[in-house]
Structure formats: structure tokens, C-alpha cells
Structure 1
Amino acid sequence: MSISAPRGLASSGQKPITEILHPLSAAEEPLSPGPDVTVSGGRDKEVGLTNGTPVETPSPASASVLFNRLHLDDDLDPDTRDPYADTETHDLFVTVDDPKKHVSTMETYITYRVSTKTSRIEFDLPEYSVRRRYQDFDWLRTKLEDSQPTHLIPPLPEKFVMKGVVDRFSEEFVETRMKALDKFLKRIADHPVLSFNPHLNAFLSAKDLNKRQGLALLTKVGESVKSVAGGYKLRVRPPEFCALGEYLDTFNQKLGTIDRIAQRILKEQSEYLTELREYGTVYASWAGSEEELQRPLEGMAGCVTTCCGALEDMSENMSQDFLPVLREYILYIESMKNVLRKRDQSQAEYEGRLEAAVLRKQEDRTPIPAEVEKCQDKMECFNADLKADWERWQSNKRQDFKQLLTGMADKNVTYYEKCQAAWESLITVLQDKQTEDKTSCKSLWEIQQ
């Protein structure tokens, strides 16, 4: 069986295996060492931000020219669209809702109702309704990572919270987590590969999950890759994956900065809201002791109260809708980097076995080991799956951030419109008061005349 050049190495100028293993070709054109790239990958170089679409470039050093803008529009070129756009799964629908608190002598925890509707033959029934807690979702994600190592697994919301800072049983926290878990399951259910995973089937349909056996098993593929690729350095990571890694580093940096600033803004808004409420209370109490100024003072207190309500709504939107999306994509980046590291390990395993086969071929003309072909197939599978999931992730990211930023703009516009309307109503009250005072003064003057 002849072995064609894998996509990853072909893009980096690597020779096909049939040429490398040919005695004359091997003697005339030895493998060029090229720049070393560690398995972990990544760069410290500061670059700009783009949509991060993998593009083949002449060399990794020129990849920075790709990063110049962030696309949020829907009018994309056909070659940049989601490759799964025409093969979306529309026969599996899941919903996470109805959180319930369970209290026992041993522990207190929250469960969520997971409702499923499907027409797939893999399921015995068309509808299911089961209750799952967070650790069940964590079990599912672990099993998906183990059984689908070449695919990007959506992230879960973070498990641990700081005691004394966030109450994990508060209504706000439970609602935010429920939305995140619902999005996690929907992303998996819409994936053309992950949605057919048998562990997802068990999660959605089984009344009781047998998690012990699943959590105890290790990925044999991952272990074999680590044993062979451990300590090996890639000669060349393909340019498109260099660009991908650089984009993830830059995107992570930008999101982290926005997250920190947003947290600070939210804190300042909370402090301002506290002062503003006290400000309105003072005017309300003052109105009780000033009969002549009662209406203007009450109008001022009502205006401040309206502004407080508008600011509270905007802050709630930032804490429950804006910040969770930022955090989700920060976690998404870590998931993508994890898959990229596995891809690098797969390439390292392939290159290591290939070089060993080349040496044996030159020395004693040993036939090509079948394991080299398997490693090549595995690497090609990694490349294809990672590129497809990357395009899918970019499409979801554009939609999510367009919706996020549009929603944020709408909330800010609504906030300022409410504040403006409140202050304009106060002007009307003050003008009416001024008119009454003038009328009163005129009547008093006429009486005196």
C-alpha cells in the first residue's frame, strides 16, 4: 500500500512517504531539519486579531499578516462558511431547564431537567425527560473527550466558585449555570459527529448513569501517542495550524482584557447604584418637610428611582448575559488548544515512526511498517476534524458575538432612553411649578393693587 503525503505535512513542504523511502531520493534529498516546533506549540509574539480562519501561508513567520480584523458579518465568502452548514442535525432537540435543589444529610446539590425529542433510530423512544446534576454533565464531557479525541468538545461552565463571593445556590447563579449547561448540550446535539456518540445517548435517555466504569477508563490512543511522541520536537508545524495557535493566543489575551474591564465596570456600576439609591431617598424625605417644593422634590426622587431601575437592568444584563459568553469563549480557547496539542502529538508520533522507518529502509531495505500508515491516517483524521471543527467554531463565534454586541448596544440605548425620559419629565414638573409661582405672584400683586 502506497502512502500519500498527509495534508498537514504537504502544506509545510514535506516529501511524500513514497519519495522519502525511495533509496535514491533519500540519498539525493535528505530531510531538511527546518525550525523546531515543540509539541505544546504557541508563540509569545504579539499579533493583531482576525477571524482566525486557517490559511496556508508560505511560512509560519508570515502568518501575522492574517490577523487584521474580526469579522462579525453574516455575508461570508462561500469558502469561509461552516462546512457543516448544509448537514446540520435537525432530528435531535435537547433542553435544560427546571432547576431543583436537593438537600440530604450528606450533601446539597442542584439538578436540572434534561428534555429530549428525537426521531433517531438509536433511541428507543421519541421523547425523554431525565434529571442531571453538574457532575453528570462533567462525566459526559470527559467521555466525549476520551472517545472523540480529534474533535473540539464544547466547554462546561466552571465547577468551583469562591465561597463568600458567589452563592452557588442563589437564584441568579443557578439560572446562569442552567443557561450554560443548556448551550453545552445544544452545541453537542447540533454537531454532526458528537451527537451520535453513545455516551450522549446514555446521558439523555438513561435514568441512572453508570459513571464509575467510564471515568476509570483511560484513552488508549492518547497513551500511545504520549509514549511515542514524548520529548519529540516537530520539525515543522503546518502554517495553517501555526496561524490557528497564534490566533488563539491573541484572542485569549483580548477576551481576558475585556473580561477584566467588564468586571471592573460592573463593580463600579454596583457602587454607583448604591449611592444613587441613597441620593433618591434624600430627596423623598426632603419633600415631606418642604410643602412649597414638594412636587419638584418628589419629581426628582422619582427621576432618580427610574434611573436606578434602568441601571440595574443594564448591570443585570452584563452579569448574566455578557460576562458568561466571554467566559465561555475563554474556556473554549483552552479546549481548542487541547485538541491542537493532541494534533501535534499525533504528528510527532507519525514523524518519529517515519524517521525510524527511513533509517531501517536505508540500512536493510525493511518493508514499510503498517504502523506508519496507521499513524499517517490518524494524523490526517486529526487535521481534517480539527479544521472542520475550527470552521464550525468560527461560525458560532461570529453569530454569538454579533448577538452579544447587538444586545449590549440595545441595552445601553434603552438605559439612556429611560434616563432621558425621566429627566425630561422632571423638566415638565419644574416648568409647571414655575408657571404656578408666576401665576400666584401675579394674583398677589393684583390683590395688593
Structure 2
Amino acid sequence: MSVGAQRGLASSGQKHIAEILHPLSAADESLSPGPDVTVTAGGDKEAGLSNGTPVDTPSPASASSLFNRLQLDDDIESDPRDYYDSTETRDLFVTVDDPKKHVSTMETYITYRVSTKTTRIEFDLPEYCVRRRYQDFDWLRIKLEDSQPTHLIPPLPEKFVMKGVVDRFSEEFVGTRMKALDKFLKRVADHPVLSFNPHLNAFLSAKDLNKRQGLALLTKVGESVKHVTGGYKLRARPPEFCAMGEYLDTFSQKLGTIDRIAQRILKEQSEHLTELRDYGAVYSNWTGSEGELQRPLEGVASSVSTCCGAMDELCENMGQDFLPVLREYMLYIESMKNVLKKRDQSQAEYEGRLEAALLRKQEDRTPMPPEVERCQDKVECFNADLKADWERWQSNKRQDFKQLLGGMADKNINYYEKCQAAWESLINVLQDKQTEDQTSETD
């Protein structure tokens, strides 16, 4: 049975990030060792893939930059691998916004407005507006995982935060979570299969969600699969899926390193900003006791204040835009690994049933049981869906990292331009003061 496939940083840490970004490509080359290498389920190398897709040429001898590996070019939107862009017709639009805090005697929580516009016949109305809390989004993701096990489900932002470290009701935290929930829902709504899931329909349109329905049956099904595959060891994972796993491991390590360095940079920038504000305040206070130097001192204080504002914007971008994307993709990696594990379980189930059937056939020549063919069809379906979602994930990753790194560069350029303009304005003040002093001496 065949199935159809469905872009510098403003601190001393700049060098460290560059060192991480560049060798990522060298590590990535391990993902595409060449057509003559194979990989078995035990980890022995057999076949190499670039970004987890088959290649026909050997890997280049020299390491390319991260920008090249992620294909951050001007024609990224026309990448032939982004086939979904040309085949999908968007008819479902969702937005998550307007967070509100609810306080009751039992608990305090945040809800978000989920707005939907659609022309699909599966919906009774063209527009919906409901309020959902985090646990409702979590319910939806669990339902999608259970009902669409062969597909990659986008990750949600992490539910739990460390008490005393992050205030989960602060405006900054709620705003960051809202953006993450909006991205999650948009990714689901843009998916050619997940967007038609009835649980998504209910999430977007129903006033009240029946969160208990269907859990018992799905749990039993999952346990039955574990029982069948529990005593069977997978013979060999297909090469393309081995390469996917290797790519995810390397990508996860690099993202983790970048995340740790970026957090240190953010901490250093925040500490520098605190000192810079105290530094500017000294000049402001000094003006009261130095009448002749009042204008130059005020100029210095103004320049420092401008630099403080620019640094504050840079820190905000790092904390609210850069780091969350890295974290999202680390969670994405875990989701992809889970789907790969499910695929392996499906393959193990098929191989186990096939082996048992062949043994019985040799003994009493019984016909091949129909469940063997059904297991084979399930594996083929898993393979096709996973490959399609892998291509879609790679397409999203290229676009997201182009936007991320480009935005980071723009923010740093903007920071240095503001600082330069501030200090150049001080030079004009000092020159005017010098001219006044020379005129006074002449008179």
C-alpha cells in the first residue's frame, strides 16, 4: 500500500556567539557524511542526509557558515522544498491576543482571546471569538498528539516557571507566553492535516470544552502498542530517519550552547545598563555645583541617557524575541524525537507481527494474517507523514532563523547608531562651549 507525502551582539560575548554559529555548520556536516555511509538503529553510520533529507553528493570538505546551512538567502521564499507555500490555500486564520487576569477564591489565572476567521464548511460560523487559558491549549496539544500520532505537533511554551525567579503574572511574562501561544495555534491552523482535526474545531468554536472525552480509549490503544513492541528490538531504522535523529542531536547541542551564551550576554547587558544609569546620574547631579561646565555636563548626561534607552531596547529584544525562539526550537526538537520514537514503535510492531506470522506459516502454512498488512500500511503512513512534516519543519526553521538573525542584526545596528548620534551631539556642545570661552577671552 503506498501513501502520498504531505539571521553583532552588543557585548563582549559577541565573539562567543560567532564561535558557536560558525562551527555549527561543521557539525552539521556530520549529518551528511556521504552516500556511501549507512546508519543502523544501534547508531552505526550508514547513510547521511543534509537536514535529514537524502543527498546524492558527498559533503563539502570545508565548513560553511550557519547562514549558508540555514539557507538565509533573498530567495528563501522560493525554495523549491517549501512546496507547502504553493500548494496550500489558507482559509483558516487564528489570532491569540488580549490577555486578561482572573482572580477567584480558588485560583488566579490568565485567559487569552482566540479569534478565528474561516470559510470552511466544517465551521457553522465564519467568525468566532472565545477565551482560553493555558491548560486549554495544553488539552488541544494532547488531543492532537493522541489523534494524529504520525504527525509533528508544534510545541507549547513550558507551563511551569520557577517561583521567585519569574512572575508568571507579570506583563513581560504574559506577553511572551501570548506570542508563543499565538505561534503554536498559527502553526496548527496552517498545517494541511492538523487544521482539519475536530478537536481544533472545538477549541476554536466551542464555549465549553469537554476535556475528558476519549482519553480512556486512547490510553488503552497506547498501552496495547507498548505491549506488542515491549519485547521486540528494532532491526534497523531506515537511513533517512537515522539521519534525522543525528541532525536533531547536533542541532539541540548547538542551540543549547547559543542559549546559554545569549543568557550570559543578556545578564551582562542588564548589569551594564544598571551601572550606566548610575553613571549618567552622577553627571546630572554634578551640574548643580559647576556653573561654567553646566552645558557640557548636561550633554554627557543626555548622551548616557540615550545610550541607556538604546541598551534597554537591545536587552528587551534579546529577552523577548531572540531567546524565546531558541527555546521554541529546543522544544520542537523534543517533539520531533517523540514522533521518531513512535515511528520506531510502529516499525517494531510490524516486524514483530511479520516474524511471528512467517514462523507460523512455515509450521502449518497458515495464510498471512490481515493485521500484518495493516501494520505495514501504518508504517508506510507514518513514514510519509513524518517526511512531509520534516520538510515543513525545515522550511519553517529556515524562515524563522532568517527573521531571527536579521532582526538581531537590525537591533544591534540601531543600538550603535543611536549611541553614535548621542556622542556626536556632545561633540557639538563641547565645540560651542570652546568657541564661547575663546570669545570671552578675546573680549
**TM-score for the superposition, normalised by structure 2:** 0.86
Which residue matches 2:237?
237
Give, in angstroms, the shift of residue 257 of structure 1.
0.5
Which residue matches 2:70?
71
- Of the candidates 19, 24, 27, which is equivalent to residue 48 of structure 1? 27
Alpha-carbon distance in structure 2 between the residues aligned to 1:343 and 1:56: 24
Change (3 A) 1:413 1:333: same
Give, in angstroms, the shift of residue 84 of structure 1.
2.5
Alpha-carbon distance in structure 1 between the residues aligned to 2:140 and 2:123: 17
Name structure 2 gaps, 5 residues minimum: 5-24, 40-44, 52-62
Which residue matches 2:305?
305
Change (3 A) 1:231 1:56: farther
Which residue matches 2:413?
413
Alpha-carbon distance in structure 2 between the residues aligned to 1:55 and 1:232: 31
Point out the more displaced range, 207-216 or 343-352: 207-216
Contact 1:142 1:215 in 2 (8 A): no
Within 5 A, what are the aligned runs for 1:8-407? 48-49=27-28, 58-60=37-39, 61-63=45-47, 66=50, 70-73=69-72, 75=75, 81-407=81-407
Alpha-carbon distance in structure 1 between the residues aligned to 2:77 and 2:273: 46
Alpha-carbon distance in structure 1 between the residues aligned to 2:30 and 2:416: 32
Alpha-carbon distance in structure 2 between the residues aligned to 1:55 and 1:107: 57
Does the residue aligned with 1:211 lie in a helix, a strand or coil?
A: coil
Change (3 A) 1:214 1:270: farther
Point out the more displaced range, 393-402 or 60-69: 60-69
Change (3 A) 1:326 1:99: same
Alpha-carbon distance in structure 2 between the residues aligned to 1:185 and 1:77: 22
Give, in angstroms, the shift of residue 123 of structure 1.
0.5
Alpha-carbon distance in structure 2 between the residues aligned to 1:56 and 1:381: 25
One-letter code aligned to 1:276: L
Contact 2:307 2:418 in 1 (8 A): yes
Contact 1:234 1:344 in 2 (8 A): yes
Contact 2:48 2:239 in 1 (8 A): no
Does the residue aligned with 2:322 lie in a helix, a strand or coil?
A: helix
Give, in angstroms, the shift of residue 227 of structure 1.
1.1
Alpha-carbon distance in structure 2 between the residues aligned to 1:52 and 1:158: 29
Q: Deviations over 1:255-280 (max 9, x none)?
A: 01111111111111111100000000
Alpha-carbon distance in structure 1 between the residues aligned to 2:356 and 2:318: 56
Does the residue aligned with 1:234 lie in a helix, a strand or coil?
A: coil
Give, in angstroms, the shift of residue 252 of structure 1.
0.5
Contact 2:119 2:126 in 1 (8 A): yes
Alpha-carbon distance in structure 1 between the residues aligned to 2:83 and 2:215: 33
One-letter code aligned to 1:386: L
Give, in angstroms, the shift of residue 355 of structure 1.
1.2
Contact 1:157 1:328 in 2 (8 A): yes
**Structure of greater Rg:** 1
Change (3 A) 1:102 1:181: same
Equivalenced residue count is 402
Give, in angstroms, the shift of residue 366 of structure 1.
1.6
Alpha-carbon distance in structure 1 between the residues aligned to 2:49 and 2:119: 47
Identical columns (%): 80
Does the residue aligned with 1:344 lie in a helix, a strand or coil?
A: helix
Give, in angstroms, the shift of residue 71 of structure 1.
2.3
Alpha-carbon distance in structure 2 between the residues aligned to 1:176 and 1:79: 30
Alpha-carbon distance in structure 1 between the residues aligned to 2:147 and 2:377: 17
Contact 2:234 2:347 in 1 (8 A): yes
Alpha-carbon distance in structure 2 between the residues aligned to 1:77 and 1:318: 26
Which residue matches 2:434?
434
One-letter code aligned to 1:72: Q
Name structure 1 gaps, 5 residues minimum: 8-45, 444-449
Alpha-carbon distance in structure 2 between the residues aligned to 1:405 and 1:78: 19
Does the residue aligned with 1:327 lie in a helix, a strand or coil?
A: helix
**TM-score for the superposition, normalised by structure 1:** 0.85
One-letter code aligned to 1:271: E
Give, in angstroms, the shift of residue 220 of structure 1.
4.7
Alpha-carbon distance in structure 1 between the residues aligned to 2:310 and 2:72: 30
Alpha-carbon distance in structure 2 between the residues aligned to 1:193 and 1:240: 23
Contact 1:54 1:243 in 2 (8 A): no
Alpha-carbon distance in structure 1 between the residues aligned to 2:79 and 2:46: 21
Give, in angstroms, the shift of residue 436 of structure 1.
1.3
